Structure 1
Amino acid sequence: MTPPSLPTEIEGWFSTRGWDIHPHQRDMLARSTDPCTLLIAPTGGGKTMAGFLPTLAELSDGTHDGLHTLYVSPLKALAADIKRNLRTPVDEMGLPIRIEDRTGDTSQTVKKRQRADPPHILLTTPESLALLTSYEDAPRIFRGLKRVIVDEIHALADSKRGDQLFLALARLQTLCPDLRRVGLSATVDRPADVASLLARHPDPCAIVTADPGPAPDIAMLQTDETPPWSGGGAAYAIPAVLEHVKQHKTTLIFHNTRAQAEIFFHNLWLANDESLPIGIHHGSLDRQQRERVEAAMVRGDLRAIVCTGSLDLGIDWGDVDLVIQVGAPKNVKRLVQRIGRANHRYNAPSKALLVPANRWEVVECVNALQAVREGDLDGDPRPRGPQDVLCQHILLAAAAAPFSADDLFAEMTSAGAYADLTRAEFDACLEFCATGGYAFRTYDRWQRLQKRGDLWHLRDPRAAARIRMNAGTIQDSDKLKVRLKRNRGGKPLGEVEESFAATLSQGDTFLIGGQIVRYEGLREMTVEVSRNAAKKPRVAVFSGTKFATSTQLSQRTLRFLQHPSWPELPDHTADWLRLQRDVSRLPEPNRLLVETFPRDGRENMVVYGFAGRNAQQTLGLLLTKRMEDRDLAPMGFVATDYATLIWGLDEIANPEALFDLNALRDGLDGWLAGNALMKRTFRGAATIAGLIERNTPGQRKSGRQATFSSDILYDTLLKYDPEHLLMQVTRTEALSGLVDFARIEDMLARIEGRIDHVRAPHVTPLAAPLFLEVGKVPVQSGSAEERLLAEETDALMRDSGLQNVKG
């Protein structure tokens, strides 16, 4: 097939607007017949049009019957936005092209019609695509499919949603052997790795890189107030942020967690004396409320939107001309993505400000900004494709039609994430899907597949509906709907976690959607509330995504600490680091700094591992266990991204002896076996793999019911079948995710036994903020503790003859 030339109606449409087709868009048109192409282009650079130009050219003559192009997006809202943006040029060009979207929000009536009469272009998500491949009429639905476009592929490449997608693409390639694949992204840290995921293994994938355009205009916010020693709210910066909002058309104010977004929005609203129109947007809010905010953004009605990752991706949200990131970004790639939301136009520099929430984050923000300027994106190597997703795919394949194990294995290993899957591993997954595994093979409920001749079938064809009902890799976190009481209108406000709702008593107040509500009671698994005018509410504990500082950013920060001076830093932070160098020492990249000192009748040890919060938390667990074995009486610990503080009764005279890797690994094995964290990880894997069903016809299990069921299954497997497939998956995921033991191993390998032990007479400057971690160290008053620590630091600086630091 020869590459299509651009039809006159498309050329004319560009010409009438005075637009030139960008070089990378021409490149994508020229490569339209390639089996796989990855386009990396800056935000606002016309990636979407570059992906769709070959489709529009091929469909312009009106001869194609049925589905031609499938567009896959990580967000339902992005699919809907692309449909709006694509519909306009198609209508104005007069092209005979039907465009529809299919997501979880699409009605069953429309979905049924789409299966019977597919549009030319279908916009969907990984979950909806996986379900489409599971129907018996999938060969007819996809009969005419020529192209698949995966947008924001970087957001899928590192997740189970991506694994689900790439397995679905392997299925589509079997149905449509000449299928062409296209990936689009603005931020890719390892282009070759992403290309290999997108391609059909072992086929190559071409990479097209567009002109990156002008460098972003980014800086750290300058304020009259100095950041506090600890905390994540950045309340000190509210007046300065408000001034910048007043100076711009529309400002996106990003936060790393939903709870922090709620607090900041509340404080911003209280300080908003001019009643500027501002909104809040995050994943726990009611969908209608999110859509109202999105519509207001597109119309240009809002001056500022406080948000989380829910607005990270490539949706064109109107005339945004400033992005503010509150809190250290933790990840350079994510920061670049967020910066790109401002001035969403080709060759227009994005404008962004970083707002460190505390003193340490000043250091991290300076290093993140430098990494952005150098184009140094961070990212860890992609792990192997997880087997729980593989099991789900086997069940979905069985729901579609009987299959040959040999054929399905060949298909799965054509997906890049599973290219090194062994036949033994595949057979173990197939055995699990068929019987539930050794421990459960006598239970009828897990007897799902049987072999007849050379093909595997569903034992009961009616099981196909249950398999589809429970498909997906997004694990909800046991949330309850929040509504105003029925006599107050019954309006839905959003969701909170079950664990948070369980702590509420009638009369308690909390923030949701930027407003303070009063808890009235629980009715039919719904949290009923009324509006409340309280000034200081409790805050809903939204789970969201807990970001850990990336390995690359941590190492960059460690190297930065070795500079003789820090002209990039404000005086208060540079003086703080100089004081640390004078009274102790600064952590170094290939050494481990351990400080010990007395305070308030306790002995304290601080380990500056710079391994990320999860790994530092795990290190605290393992070290305190080692200390208990040596009768050193640890009393507790607290962890941040850069350090772990342990306090107890006895001085640690020889901390080096605590860091034996084999002993730490043995301690981890013992701690993990019955830990609640392992049970939570098991529950997620078991739900994805199909061992646990959250949805059954006519009912849905509550989070507590599902937890109870999974805990029983976990305990059973731990006792009778500890090598069960899902137990292996659970351990692998816990070690790489929530526990992050690999980063502890990397840290110990990097230092090679080089441990610097400093015995200090009192708390050191870098250690001081650790005593303020919320909810970890019992204090009478957070503000009093902060003042005492600030006074201690001030006194240290006076004694050293350095400039005074105001806390």
Structure 2
Amino acid sequence: MTHLPQPLHDWFAARGWEIHPHQQAMLDAAHAPSTLLIAPTGGGKTMAGFLPTLADLHASPRRGLHTLYISPLKALAADIKRNLRTPVDEIGMDIRIEDRSGDTTYTQKRKQRADPPHILLTTPESLALLLSYEDAPRIFNELQRVVVDEIHALAESKRGDQLMLGLSRLQALAPDLRRVGLSATVEDPEAIASFLARHPQPTKIIHADPGPAPDISMLETETAPPWSGGGGRYAIPAVLEQVKRHNTTLIFHNTRAQAEIFFHHLWLANEDQLPIGIHHGSLAREQRMKVEQAMVEGSLKAIVCTGSLDLGIDWGDVDLVIQIGAPKNVKRLVQRIGRANHRYNAPSKALLVPANRFEIVECKAALDAVKEHDLDGEPRSTGPRDVLCQHILASAASGPFAADDLYREVTTAGPYAKLTRDDFDRCLDFCATGGYALRAYDRYQRIVERDGKWQLRDPRSAAQIRMNIGTIIDTEMLKVRLKGRRGGSALGEVEEAFASTLSQGDTFLIGGQIVRYEGLNEMTVEVTRRASDNPKVAVFSGTKFANTTQLSQRIMRLLQQDSWPDLPAHTAQWLTLQRERSKLPEPSRLLIESFPQDSREYTVIYGFAGRNAMQTLGLLLTQRMEEQGLDPLGFLATDYATMIWSLQPVTDPTPLFKIDNLRQGLEDWLAGNAVMKRTFRASAIISGLIDRMTQGKRKSGRQATFSSDILYDTLRKYDPDHLMLDITREEAMKGLIDFGRIEEMITRTRGAIDHLQLDRVTPLAAPLFLEIGRVPIKGAAEERLMAEEASLLMAKAGLE
């Protein structure tokens, strides 16, 4: 057993603390090549990650960078810095701790490169940038440890892939480097361990005592949830009552727009003038920091928020979490629950507020999953090649490299362990020439091979490469500022597409305020504060989550129960009525209902494949129906169903669901689709084909889109096998289109279809008629209806 150094032991004792078993286990594993710690929120996992560092620096004081701490959030790094300074300062250890992010001054960054601190807290993007400099070997050659916090969050995105490539480069610079991953919420520890590992070496997994089960339930309200919608406004009186009873409440929403609407109505109902704030990623940094500081001080009773507060920052005295709307993902729900009660071995308290009747069923399924510790998560795919292309260019910016060496280095990274040499060489060729269709253009020839090593063709391009490092592709946002003051106070950002719909005098919500649009001035939305009872709402870029596969399967199993005593009476009656008039969906069969309504023929497919997949299914099925002369007019998709309306009834749906036909239909539809162009633009920016920044200035959304659209059309015409088109198709299939969930649905049901032809709308289908987001189909049916309407008008005019 490795003992704590005496000063650290005394510091613990002075607080009446004892080292937790998992903290001791981390000390004992200090020399393991790779370690993953899974510990509950409030369990001291950050201290566990740093104890070996503090112990080593106490035993062997030295200069230079010893430990690198990587966080997905700048705010989390700043919070860790505050917490870590306490023991270091109180013990009197001579340890420099600094953070480095986009907010760090240029002067401070230069000092850090010249004289690195003992502990540097940073983000994946800042690490990638540091590694792209020529002096990276000097900065990192004595590095002993890397601590990756909230590793589960990074493992789900390209930021994590970028980070693991960065760790492979760090390991080459510092061969004895030890890796540590910290997480509170992991559905598949082995997968995360493999993600973190330096292949082929394994990762040691340490599990902390998970502590008591959370106190989680559905919020009881006097008013029943509406049949459709996602705002949860009906529950505001009950939510306010809970806010009064607790010290600090976090009120989570799944999208920024929903958070703005809820905050607006919560404030209008806040007759007691309780101090309530709002926090999300589109608010100005100053506003977010003001709310964060108030949370630390405990001066807010409630904060309406989104995923911006998902991760492990210790926010003062939070003792209740309320989730508005079904969580869609059990792992995310557990993460959010952990924000309540940052104390070890004390249960977190949370309440779920279903936004509509069907979400009651979703919330019940999620509650059951939490109680059974059944977390969800989609399997990780191979590391994306657009991120690899960026890494190759960044490696060249730091100095010449041999292709064999870089390939060996890259394949030690978990996401790229199975990367073939052929795929690596295609990425290398792309970085060198731009590919077959682009090799004649000088700007795409960025690296060359000289004397067996690859290097930048023009050393001056290193600055441009560094300027464009990163994998986060923002929806083009415009600043919102108050007009009439010098500089104007920044309120936040709105999407460029939303701003383009505004006319002078229009009002909208941002940061809980109603503002009036006055005009656009140099890419800034200028507003004034004007009261309005009916504001528009900014369409923020917050993700619209889809139900995970595991949660969808739980919902279907719940629907198969004989009765539902744990559900509210009105919801149980609704499901019973559906069983009497039609049937309830089964996991191993595909339920399809057909019925007439308002002179239209409706077909409802209960696929439970998540919103993106059900949306894609609607596009593909209406395409097939058009070919069969069924005259589809439009469709609507939710997480659990796709509803199509047409002029002709579907009498035999079986041919519509042949997987080969659906796949071919997808290929035809994708060929020139806007989804593909949008996906291509994102991958082209990440890979370095298109610059998002040039000469220190960010391109406008229109500039970048214009460039990417021309490139996309050029490659499709002249080089259809181009690497970027392959990457685009892969990304689209697993992203917005989610065709894999459709394939899973068809595999799961094995062609077993229950097609019920009914004489009227069913209880389960009825709420779909109240949903927004209908997609019209432009085809033969529209032309036929227009012709019939014209004929009626002519007849009324006596012309027929």
Provide the aligned C-alpha RMSD in A: 0.9
Deviation at 1:517, TM superposition (A): 0.4
- Counterparts in 2 of 1:316-465, with a 5 A limit? 316-465=314-463
Residue 697 (structure 1) aligned to one of 695, 698, 703? 695
Query: Match of 2:13, SS?
Result: helix
Q: Partner of 2:725 in structure 1?
A: 727
Query: Match of 1:321, SS?
Result: strand
Q: Partner of 1:801 in structure 2?
A: none
**Distance in structure 1 (CA, Å) of the matches to 2:254 and 2:618:** 24
Q: Which amino acid aligns with 1:120?
A: H
Q: Partner of 1:490 in structure 2?
A: 488
Deviation at 1:700, TM superposition (A): 2.1
Alpha-carbon deviations, 1:467-521, whole Å to 9, x = none?
0000100001001011011348710000000000010000110000000000000
- Is 1:607 the counterpart of 2:605? The answer is yes
Q: Partner of 2:521 in structure 1?
A: 523
Q: 1:489 to 1:177 in 2, by over 3 A?
A: closer
**Distance in structure 1 (CA, Å) of the matches to 2:265 and 2:531:** 14
- Counterparts in 2 of 1:150-299, with a 5 A limit? 150-299=148-297
**Distance in structure 2 (CA, Å) of the matches to 1:108 and 1:488:** 26
Deviation at 1:62, TM superposition (A): 5.8
Checking the alignment, whether the CA contact within 8 Å between 2:253 and 2:323 is kept in structure 1 is yes
Deviation at 1:774, TM superposition (A): 1.7
Q: Using structure 1 for the length normalisation, give the TM-score.
A: 0.95
Query: Match of 2:593, SS?
Result: strand
Checking the alignment, whether the CA contact within 8 Å between 1:325 and 1:353 is kept in structure 2 is yes
**Distance in structure 1 (CA, Å) of the matches to 2:313 and 2:376:** 23
Deviation at 1:5, TM superposition (A): 3.1
Alpha-carbon deviations, 1:708-742, whole Å to 9, x = none?
11000000011111111110000001111110001
Q: Partner of 2:302 in structure 1?
A: 304
Alpha-carbon deviations, 1:142-185, whole Å to 9, x = none?
12100000000000011100000000000000000000000000
Checking the alignment, whether the CA contact within 8 Å between 2:254 and 2:545 is kept in structure 1 is yes
**Distance in structure 2 (CA, Å) of the matches to 1:406 and 1:399:** 18
**Distance in structure 1 (CA, Å) of the matches to 2:498 and 2:590:** 38
**Distance in structure 2 (CA, Å) of the matches to 1:698 and 1:417:** 32
Deviation at 1:303, TM superposition (A): 0.1
Q: Which amino acid aligns with 2:475?
A: S
Checking the alignment, whether the CA contact within 8 Å between 2:39 and 2:210 is kept in structure 1 is yes
Query: Match of 1:60, SS?
Result: helix
Query: Match of 1:589, SS?
Result: coil
Q: Partner of 1:786 in structure 2?
A: none
Query: Match of 1:510, SS?
Result: strand
Deviation at 1:6, TM superposition (A): 1.2
Deviation at 1:4, TM superposition (A): 5.3
Q: Which amino acid aligns with 1:395?
A: L
Checking the alignment, whether the CA contact within 8 Å between 2:2 and 2:24 is kept in structure 1 is no
Deviation at 1:545, TM superposition (A): 1.5
**Distance in structure 2 (CA, Å) of the matches to 1:146 and 1:488:** 49
Q: How many residues align?
A: 776
Checking the alignment, whether the CA contact within 8 Å between 2:625 and 2:632 is kept in structure 1 is yes
Alpha-carbon deviations, 1:116-153, whole Å to 9, x = none?
00000000000000111110000111121000000000
Q: Which amino acid aligns with 2:103?
A: D
Residue 711 (structure 1) aligned to one of 687, 699, 709? 709
**Distance in structure 2 (CA, Å) of the matches to 1:385 and 1:755:** 36
Alpha-carbon deviations, 1:629-665, whole Å to 9, x = none?
0110000000000000001111111112211111111
Q: Partner of 1:142 in structure 2?
A: 140
**Distance in structure 1 (CA, Å) of the matches to 2:773 and 2:642:** 15
**Distance in structure 2 (CA, Å) of the matches to 1:370 and 1:696:** 51
Q: Partner of 1:65 in structure 2?
A: 63
Deviation at 1:61, TM superposition (A): 4.2
Q: Using structure 2 for the length normalisation, give the TM-score.
A: 0.96
Q: Partner of 1:804 in structure 2?
A: none
**Distance in structure 2 (CA, Å) of the matches to 1:298 and 1:700:** 34
Q: Partner of 1:590 in structure 2?
A: 588
Q: Partner of 1:776 in structure 2?
A: 774
Q: 1:214 to 1:504 in 2, by over 3 A?
A: same
**Distance in structure 2 (CA, Å) of the matches to 1:459 and 1:91:** 48
Query: Match of 2:31, SS?
Result: coil
Deviation at 1:698, TM superposition (A): 3.9
- Is 1:539 the counterpart of 2:519? The answer is no
**Distance in structure 1 (CA, Å) of the matches to 2:527 and 2:771:** 30
Q: Partner of 1:14 in structure 2?
A: 12
Checking the alignment, whether the CA contact within 8 Å between 1:234 and 1:356 is kept in structure 2 is yes
Q: What is the percentage of aligned positions where both structures have the same residue?
A: 72
Residue 93 (structure 2) aligned to one of 88, 95, 105? 95
- Is 1:634 the counterpart of 2:622? The answer is no
Query: Match of 2:171, SS?
Result: helix
Query: Match of 1:719, SS?
Result: helix
Q: Which amino acid aligns with 1:763?
A: V
Q: Partner of 2:680 in structure 1?
A: 682
- Counterparts in 2 of 1:21-40, with a 5 A limit? 21-40=19-38
Checking the alignment, whether the CA contact within 8 Å between 1:62 and 1:96 is kept in structure 2 is no
Q: Partner of 2:785 in structure 1?
A: none
**Distance in structure 2 (CA, Å) of the matches to 1:81 and 1:699:** 30
Residue 513 (structure 1) aligned to one of 504, 511, 517? 511
**Distance in structure 1 (CA, Å) of the matches to 2:75 and 2:443:** 37
Query: Match of 2:193, SS?
Result: helix
Checking the alignment, whether the CA contact within 8 Å between 1:5 and 1:57 is kept in structure 2 is no
**Distance in structure 1 (CA, Å) of the matches to 2:86 and 2:678:** 46
Alpha-carbon deviations, 1:746-783, whole Å to 9, x = none?
110111110001111111111111111124289xxxxx
Q: Which amino acid aligns with 1:695?
A: M
Q: Partner of 1:751 in structure 2?
A: 749
**Distance in structure 1 (CA, Å) of the matches to 2:775 and 2:381:** 36
Q: Which amino acid aligns with 1:259?
A: A
**Distance in structure 1 (CA, Å) of the matches to 2:572 and 2:553:** 19
Q: Which amino acid aligns with 1:677?
A: V
Query: Match of 1:527, SS?
Result: strand
Checking the alignment, whether the CA contact within 8 Å between 1:188 and 1:377 is kept in structure 2 is yes
Gaps of 5+ in 1: 779-807
Deviation at 1:406, TM superposition (A): 0.2
Gaps of 5+ in 2: 777-800
Query: Match of 1:486, SS?
Result: coil
Q: Which amino acid aligns with 1:75?
A: L
Q: Which amino acid aligns with 1:208?
A: I
Q: Partner of 1:45 in structure 2?
A: 43
Query: Match of 1:530, SS?
Result: strand
Q: Which amino acid aligns with 2:62?
A: H
Alpha-carbon deviations, 1:286-338, whole Å to 9, x = none?
00000000000000000000000000000001100000000000000000000
Query: Match of 2:318, SS?
Result: coil
Deviation at 1:697, TM superposition (A): 1.1
Alpha-carbon deviations, 1:672-692, whole Å to 9, x = none?
010000000000000000000
**Distance in structure 2 (CA, Å) of the matches to 1:239 and 1:196:** 47
The ranges of structure 1 where at least 4 consecutive aligned residues each deviate by more than 6 angstroms after the TM superposition are none
Checking the alignment, whether the CA contact within 8 Å between 2:636 and 2:773 is kept in structure 1 is no
Q: Which amino acid aligns with 2:611?
A: R
